[in-house]
Amino acid sequence: MVKFIKFLIAAASTTYYGMPFAQCVHDGGTIQKRKFEAVGLQFVGPKRDKNFVFVIGFELIRKGKAGDIAQLLEQEASAMDEGY
């Protein structure tokens, strides 16, 4: 999965001539009284007519405060960089 996402980033970087083409997205939810946070990368399609979102993390969280979410986003980005 990590290799595929790195491939997409490289391909999109070339396609969009270095212009922004993706963003990190996140959203929280509650499942059976437990809080979860989903983290993903949202890409613009090559024809610029669609968006694609790849989930890179789905974590149980204890608190939903901004600092906790920021820490989770940093952990997921770090794990992607390490290629887990």
- pLDDT at residue 32, as a whole number: 92
pLDDT tens across 14-48, in order?
777 777 778 888 888 888 998 888 888 888 777 77
Q: What is the pLDDT of residue 38?
A: 85
| pLDDT tens for each residue of 61-72 | 876 676 777 777
Q: Are strands 51-60 and 34-44 parallel, antiparallel or unpaired?
A: antiparallel
Q: What pLDDT score was predicted for residue 83?
A: 57
Report phi then psi at 66, rounded to 5: -55, -45
The pLDDT value recorded for residue 80 is 65
- Looking at residue 33, the DSSP 8-state letter turns out to be T
* Predicted pLDDT at 23: 84
Q: What pTM was computed for the model?
A: 0.62
How far is 30 from 15, CA to CA, in rounded Å? 38
